Structure 1
Amino acid sequence: MTDLFDRTPSAASDRAGPRPLADRLRPRRLAEVIGQEHVLGPEAPLGVMLAAGTLSSLIFWGPPGVGKTTIARLLADETDLAFVQISAIFSGVAELKKVFEAARLRHANGQGTLLFVDEIHRFNKAQQDGFLPHMEDGTILLVGATTENPSFELNAALLSRSQVLVLERLDPAHLELLAQRAEHELGRPLPLTGEARDDLIAMADGDGRALLNLIEQLMAWKVTGPLAPADLARRLQKRAAQYDKSGDGHYNLISALHKSVRGSDPDAALYWLTRMLEGGEDPRFLARRIVRMSVEDIGLADPQAQTVCLDAWSVYERLGSPEGELALAQAVVYLALAPKSNAGYSAYKAARQAAQKTGSEPPPRHILNAPTRLMKEQGFGAGYQYDHDAEDAFSGQNYFPESMKRGVYYTPVERGFERELKRRLDYFSKLRERRQDG
């Protein structure tokens, strides 16, 4: 990486009129890009490709404001390719045809084209397929950018011809470097106390472009002295957290909540719950998932857990937001601290697999009812032992299909109420062995 302040505005840029700060600070070389060392470093994928002179088609996957467009533009400069940028939001089939035809002409004249497609996941399957022949014959080198998981949003054929590179949100240290660049460009320091400066960086939430926009607003104010955090908060609205209720953020955060509960960490579970609520998630979706957690990860280790969750859901339906959300939070804390067992969940899956494998095997005849004479003649119900007639209300008979080996699916853990269930299961298992041997 080069020195942060090695850039000097050109005379041409001075005459060109006002430009947004984010545009003025756009890196001119890959070495000036802040962050993404895991992609751009000498031993990283792009560093190795550029050193070898063999750049392949790429998919940049990452949140907004981390440099996807900038890196694509600089890759074109580094490889002497014509840079063409389109957005899947605004481009249709007609525009794509024009782009491909222009690239074909350049290719015929000895120049390649780096086609940067922003929001590439918004193209449908047919449009994505349209890139393939032009990628294969070298007409274009495709660089797509997406904020969504490419595994779910992009065609397998397109992914097989591209390398997916994950770009990460900028951490506070990277954002601080960007703020220093902005101060150098503007010729004066930010009018903030140290604590307020930290708050400003936190407001950007890992988005470099958002930080520069905030700085541009801040530097336009007329202030007499450094602003404290409270002064900054009054003047600037905190940037909304990145959260797409139907995209990756939705699934990543609910996964984080579920795993925090499973890991018996109530503080982390509350954090992810409130992150989702702050992002605008439907509390009813959370209520459903919380009930699922009680069944999947606590189960019979604490049979009351399911009731607690259903009651919390009921309280939310009666109170609504925000009061009802407290009931959901309390249910999450209860689940996190409850004894854990997935024995019931595992038993259900194992029994279901056995049911799918054995198909239409009938029950043993001795446990079939025989309401007609024909059925009695066929042996239905013959030999059935009524368990309540036994001294200990347990006959020990076989209830699996006669051709099937007895299955063992439920293996309770030595935690919570399942410790008692394990004791009962062991008792009946030993008693069954004695009855069968007898």
Structure 2
Amino acid sequence: MDLFEAAGPDPKAPRPLADRLRPQTLADVAGQEHLTGPDGALTRLLRTRSLGSLIFWGPPGTGKTTVARLLAGETDLAFEQISAIFTGVADLKKVFEQARSRRMQGRGTLLFVDEIHRFNRSQQDAFLPVVEDGTVTLVGATTENPSFELNAALLSRARVLTFRSLDDEALEKLLVRAEAEVEHPLPLDEDARAALVRMADGDGRAVLTLAEEVWRAAGEGETFDTAGLSEIVQRRAPIYDKAQEGHYNLISALHKTVRGSDPDAALYYLARMLDAGEDPLFIARRVVRMAVEDIGLADPQALVVANAAKDAYDFLGSPEGELALANAVLYVATAPKSNAAYTAWKKAMALAKERGSVMPPKTILNAPTKLMKSEGYGGGYRYDHDEPDAFSGQDYWPEAIGRQSLYDPVERGFEREIRKRMEWWAKLRKERG
């Protein structure tokens, strides 16, 4: 054996379990039956022999790279893989030249671009000519929403296929395959096995990596319970990027469960966000928004409680201050709901923009000079506190617009009382002309 051979990889060298269990056919891919099953989108494309360029969108560990490799094999295309993290424009040009050379020899190229969203806009534009003329069949993989991260021009030339997080059943199938490969059962009791599946968070590669850690730690005849499992794997961090889609998905879920008056679900999503490391003051700001947008004057205390929770967190810090946020979330989730103020404000803004600088009636304008008094400023104004019921019923709207109805309080919470007052004032206004 020469030095080169000695330095090379030994075929018998141990490989990670996820690599050893990599599917060999599309049918073996776990958890993506909507794509790879008998009637899956990819299966139908392969039947018609018209693959086209594709964008694979989904969480880590769902099989995007594996499926791309299998597609190249199914279509007899040369497989080229690059990562947007390590590839520059010069590298792209080399790959494109090689693909053109192959094409002249009668063979196409499937170019798999991992983390394609990491390319900037001009780099993404570099793919357009080679995609359009068929030099490459592009398969891009991204964990981020393509609508936000990819050029519209590139998206229009590719079909987006969504990869789903693996459910518990698919992850369990992977563990069964792993046990067959290792020829040894996973040394976990039933509860610990279920906990390991949950820790994987829908990631097939993660569940196999976690299983490997368990096998390495187990002594002869040893079986771990849930506490023992937690000691071994030290718990995998949740998949959550504060700058990306997971962040927006969870805050959207929190807001909508509050709006839907489901305190238990709201508390769960709050816990998810705090557990993943979200900035508590970002959550506090959103709870204030919920108080003014979805509760409004149905419970004026909601805004007070939300602001107090923010102040309490500022004062206490973590973890004690997180309970103040939990209290606020429970308060707004269980408060009576009304978006009447929110709707009225939008109407008022639209009216103001539409009608421009319309003069208020002179009756309610101040008259600091004799000229202004002579012009009728302040003339005929009635001081409401001197009127019966402390209500004059005057028309305060600009004559060019006329009286409008913007705020329509609901029959819930404190707004029920506000509605009664407004109906009484409307009655008096009508009586007094």
TM-score range, shorter chain: over 0.9
Structure 2 counterpart of 1:126, from 119, 122, 126: 122
**SS, match of residue 354 in structure 1:** helix
1:36-435 equivalences in 2 (<5 Å): 36-221=32-217, 222-435=219-432
CA-based RMSD: 1.5
Residue 14 of structure 1: how far off its partner (Å): 8.7
AA in 1 matched with 2:252: S
Mapped contact 1:260–1:266 kept (Cα < 8 A): yes
**SS, match of residue 320 in structure 2:** coil
AA in 2 matched with 1:339: P
Mapped contact 2:27–2:37 kept (Cα < 8 A): no
> Structure 1 stretch 385-394 or stretch 270-279: which is displaced more?
385-394
Cα distance in 2 for partners of 1:82, 1:177 equals: 31
Mapped contact 1:37–1:44 kept (Cα < 8 A): yes
AA in 1 matched with 2:117: H
Residue 386 of structure 1: how far off its partner (Å): 2.3
AA in 1 matched with 2:143: T
Instruction: Tell me: CA distance 1:406–1:107, structure 2 relative to 1, closer, same or farther (3 Å).
Output: farther
Identify the residue that residue 4 of structure 1 maps to in structure 2.
Answer: none
AA in 1 matched with 2:318: S
Residue 433 of structure 1: how far off its partner (Å): 2.1
Cα distance in 1 for partners of 2:308, 2:350 equals: 32
Identify the residue that residue 5 of structure 2 maps to in structure 1.
Answer: none
Mapped contact 1:366–1:384 kept (Cα < 8 A): yes
Residue 51 of structure 1: how far off its partner (Å): 1.4
Cα distance in 1 for partners of 2:246, 2:119 equals: 20
AA in 2 matched with 1:156: A
Runs (4+) of structure 1 exceeding 3 A deviation are: 13-16
AA in 2 matched with 1:200: L
Residue 80 of structure 1: how far off its partner (Å): 1.2
AA in 2 matched with 1:85: Q
Cα distance in 1 for partners of 2:288, 2:356 equals: 31
Cα distance in 2 for partners of 1:130, 1:382 equals: 71
Identify the residue that residue 8 of structure 1 maps to in structure 2.
Answer: none
Cα distance in 1 for partners of 2:179, 2:329 equals: 45
AA in 2 matched with 1:262: R
1:28 aligns with 2:41: no
AA in 2 matched with 1:431: L
Cα distance in 1 for partners of 2:398, 2:85 equals: 58
Residue 341 of structure 1: how far off its partner (Å): 0.6
In the superposition, the TM-score normalised over structure 2's length comes to 0.95
Cα distance in 2 for partners of 1:196, 1:188 equals: 17
Instruction: Tell me: CA distance 1:223–1:427, structure 2 relative to 1, closer, same or farther (3 Å).
Output: farther
> Structure 1 stretch 141-150 or stretch 315-324: which is displaced more?
141-150
Residue 287 of structure 1: how far off its partner (Å): 0.8
> Structure 1 stretch 395-404 or stretch 120-129: which is displaced more?
395-404
Residue 225 of structure 1: how far off its partner (Å): 2.8
Mapped contact 1:117–1:142 kept (Cα < 8 A): yes
Cα distance in 2 for partners of 1:433, 1:50 equals: 74
The percent of aligned pairs where both chains have the same amino acid is 63
In the superposition, the TM-score normalised over structure 1's length comes to 0.94
AA in 2 matched with 1:275: R
Mapped contact 1:191–1:223 kept (Cα < 8 A): no
Cα distance in 1 for partners of 2:425, 2:229 equals: 69
**SS, match of residue 117 in structure 1:** strand
Cα distance in 2 for partners of 1:433, 1:78 equals: 79
Identify the residue that residue 6 of structure 2 maps to in structure 1.
Answer: none
Residue 185 of structure 1: how far off its partner (Å): 1.1
Cα distance in 1 for partners of 2:428, 2:28 equals: 75
Mapped contact 2:113–2:140 kept (Cα < 8 A): yes
Cα distance in 2 for partners of 1:113, 1:433 equals: 79
AA in 2 matched with 1:79: T
Give deviations 1:279-326, integer Å, cap 9, x for gaps. 001111111111111111111001111111111111111110000110
Give deviations 1:232-277, integer Å, cap 9, x for gaps. 2222211111111111011000011111111111111110001000
Alignment gaps of 5+ in structure 1: 1-12
**SS, match of residue 50 in structure 2:** coil
Cα distance in 1 for partners of 2:111, 2:376 equals: 76
AA in 1 matched with 2:333: A
AA in 2 matched with 1:122: R
Mapped contact 2:213–2:232 kept (Cα < 8 A): no
> Structure 1 stretch 172-181 or stretch 226-235: which is displaced more?
226-235
Mapped contact 2:57–2:161 kept (Cα < 8 A): yes
Give deviations 1:37-63, integer Å, cap 9, x for gaps. 122233332122111111121111111
Residue 16 of structure 1: how far off its partner (Å): 4.0
Mapped contact 1:203–1:239 kept (Cα < 8 A): yes
Give deviations 1:173-223, integer Å, cap 9, x for gaps. 100100111111112211222222112212211111011111222222333
Mapped contact 1:30–1:71 kept (Cα < 8 A): yes
Cα distance in 2 for partners of 1:223, 1:401 equals: 88
